[in-house]
A and B are shown apart, each in its own frame.
Chain A
Amino acid sequence: MNVFPRWMNALRVLAGASVLAAGVYVVALFAYGGSPKTINAGFSPEQPVPFSHALHAGELGLDCRYCHTTVEIAARAAIPPTETCMNCHLRIRTQSELLKPVFDSWASGEPVHWKRVHDLPDYVYFDHSAHVTRGVGCVTCHGRIDTMERVRQEQPLSMGWCLDCHRNPAPNLRPPEFATAMDWQPERPAAEVGAEIMQQRHLKPSTDCSTCHR
Chain B
Amino acid sequence: MTASATTKVRLDEPYHRPLLIEGAEDLASVTNRVCGVVERPKPPRAWYIAITISGSMTLMLGAMVVYLISTGVGVWGNNAPAFWGWDIVNFVFWVGIAHAGTLISAILFLLRQKWRTSINRAAEAMTLFAVCCAGMYPAVHVGRIWVAYWLFPVPNQMQMWPNFRSPLLWDVFAVSTYATVSALFWFMGLVPDLATLRDRATTKLKRVLYGFFALGWRGSARHWQRFERAYLLLAALATPLVLSVHSVVSFDFAVSQVSGWHTTIFPPYFVAGAIFSGFAMVVTVMVPARELFGLKELVTLRHLENMNKVILATGSMVGLAYATEFFIAWYGGNPYERFTFVNRAFGPYAWAYWIMIFCNVVVPQFFWSKRIRTNLWLMVVVAILVNVGMWFERFVIIVTSLARTYLPSSWGYFKPTWVDVCTFAGTIGLFFTLFLLFCRFLPMVAIAEVKTVLPAAHAHKENGHE
Contact between chain A and chain B defined by CB under 8 Å = yes
* Chain A residues proximal to chain B, CB less than 8 Å: 1-4, 8, 31, 34-36, 156, 158-161, 163
Contact B159 A159 (CB under 8 A): yes
Complex CA distance for A31 and B154, rounded to whole angstroms: 10
Jot down 12 A-B pairs with beta carbons below 8 A, ordered by A. A3-B211, A3-B212, A3-B214, A3-B216, A4-B211, A34-B157, A159-B158, A159-B159, A160-B156, A160-B157, A160-B159, A163-B159
Complex CA distance for A8 and B159, rounded to whole angstroms: 44
Interface band, chain B: 10 to 19
Of chain B, the residue at the smallest CB distance from A12 is B216
Q: Contact partner of A1 among B155, B158, B160, B199, CB < 8 A?
A: B199
Instruction: Enumerate chain A residues within 8 angstroms of B159, measured Cβ to Cβ.
Output: 159-160, 163
Question: B207 at the A/B interface (Cβ < 8 Å)?
Answer: yes
17 additional A-B pairs beyond A8-B216, A159-B157, beta carbons within 8 Å, are A1-B198, A1-B199, A1-B207, A2-B214, A2-B218, A3-B198, A3-B211, A3-B212, A3-B214, A4-B211, A4-B216, A34-B157, A156-B157, A158-B158, A160-B158, A161-B157, A163-B159
Contact A3 B157 (CB under 8 A): no
B:139-165 near A, CB below 8 Å: 155-160
B:343-373 near A, CB below 8 Å: none
Complex CA distance for A160 and B207, rounded to whole angstroms: 54
Of chain A, the residue at the smallest CB distance from B160 is A159
* Chain B residues proximal to chain A, CB less than 8 Å: 155-160, 198-199, 207-208, 211-212, 214, 216-218
Of chain A, the residue at the smallest CB distance from B210 is A3
Q: Contact partner of B157 among A2, A4, A35, CB < 8 A?
A: A35
Complex CA distance for A158 and B160, rounded to whole angstroms: 12
Instruction: Enumerate chain A residues within 8 angstroms of B218, measured Cβ to Cβ.
Output: 2
Contact B158 A3 (CB under 8 A): no
Of chain A, the residue at the smallest CB distance from B195 is A2
Of chain A, the residue at the smallest CB distance from B159 is A160
Instruction: Enumerate chain B residues within 8 angstroms of A160, measured Cβ to Cβ.
Output: 156-159
Of chain A, the residue at the smallest CB distance from B211 is A3
Contact B216 A2 (CB under 8 A): yes
Shortest CB–CB separation between residue A160 and chain B, in angstroms?
4
Complex CA distance for A90 and B157, rounded to whole angstroms: 46
Instruction: Enumerate chain A residues within 8 angstroms of B211, measured Cβ to Cβ.
Output: 1-4
Complex CA distance for A3 and B213, rounded to whole angstroms: 10
State the 6 A-B residue pairs at the shortest beta-carbon distance, nearest first: A3-B211, A160-B159, A158-B157, A159-B158, A4-B216, A160-B157
Of chain B, the residue at the smallest CB distance from A1 is B199
Contact B199 A3 (CB under 8 A): no
Complex CA distance for A159 and B156, rounded to whole angstroms: 10
Complex CA distance for A156 and B156, rounded to whole angstroms: 13
Complex CA distance for A8 and B211, rounded to whole angstroms: 14
Instruction: Enumerate chain B residues within 8 angstroms of A35, measured Cβ to Cβ.
Output: 157
Of chain B, the residue at the smallest CB distance from A30 is B154
Complex CA distance for A151 and B158, rounded to whole angstroms: 25
Of chain A, the residue at the smallest CB distance from B209 is A3
Complex CA distance for A160 and B159, rounded to whole angstroms: 5
Complex CA distance for A31 and B216, rounded to whole angstroms: 37
Instruction: Enumerate chain B residues within 8 angstroms of A161, measured Cβ to Cβ.
Output: 157
Interface centre among A34, A36, A159 (most CB of B within 10 A): A159
